[in-house]
Amino acid sequence: MPVSQTIPDPDNPILKSRETINPYRSALRSAGSRLLWDLRFESWRSRRILNSWKDKFSGADKAVILCNGPSLLKSDLSLLDGVFTFGLNKINLLFDRSDFRPSCIVSVNPFVISQNAEFFNKTDIQLFLDNYGVKKKEIKARSNVAFMHSSTAGFARDCSMSIDQGYTVTYVALQLAFHMGFRNVALIGADHNFAVNGPANKTVVADKEDESHFDPNYFAIGSKWQLPDLFQSEVSYMRAKQTYEAFGGRVLNATDGGKLEVFPRIRLEEFIRE
């Protein structure tokens, strides 16, 4: 029986990628990007802020990263009182229904930074943002904002120079947690499962309520966003897991349900009690 061929999606990012792997081009692009960033005063101001967070919590008990899957609403956030927490992207959409506030917020996707600029520009919460925000003049430089340069170097144990986005903001938060000195980290809301299918990293426009995140207006109708790359995310997660374990630490998954199985499972209550 003949196997039918699939019709290529002209918007698939793979079709737009180069045929050859050119290390010179990659090296020049990475170095050039870093050099252009260092020509800005903001690069040095942000690096000072990032350096001030280096090993600030060395020897600290634990930290929790709040991912943005629907299951986040199942987690008892009152358990996080007194625990250092990383909120991601549009975690502020949770604020109208909860008194919880994260210790800091991490965001690196250009679409998210643009869509959430109003909140980012008025909050007093510590922000760690991709330098896209300041380069496009969307985010104001302030004492509670550190802009980060993104590269593809792997897992940054020191984030003061560059970070690797690793196809998911959760990976960036794991690098920042390590940078700050945390070695015992748990994830919640990491569903690793999306209601929308399509080519990884493809830019799409939301045409209905968001069922992939904790708020139906996370990517509101008409908003641009990029489809997830779950495979590459798992590659990044494995790198983070191996790095933490190499230094005597661990990353655990305290999500209620979900499909992320890279990290050992634990109940949030148990993690907090330890």
What is the per-residue pLDDT across 51-89, written as a single tens digit (0 to 9) for each?
999 999 998 889 999 999 999 999 999 999 999 999 999
pLDDT of 127: 98
- Which residues does the chain have with pLDDT short of 70? 1-8, 13-14, 16-17
- Helices 169-180 + 230-246 axis angle, to 10: 10
Please report how the helices 169-180 and 41-53 are oriented relative to each other, as an axis angle in degrees rounded to 10: 60
Task: Name the nearest CA neighbour of 171 among 85, 107, 101.
Answer: 107
46 to each of 43, 145, 169, 195, 254, how far by Cα in Å?
Answer: 5, 8, 19, 36, 32
Identify the pLDDT of residue 156: 97
So where are the chain's domains?
24-273
Q: 229 pairs with which residues across the strands?
A: none
pLDDT of the residue at 135: 87
Residue with tokens 């690069």: 43
Q: What is the pTM of this model?
A: 0.91
Determine the pLDDT at residue 25.
77
d(CA 218, CA 216): 6
CA 153 to chain centre: 16
Q: pLDDT of 145-160, one tens digit each?
A: 999 999 987 899 999 9
- Phi, psi torsion values for 242, nearest 5 degrees: -65, -35
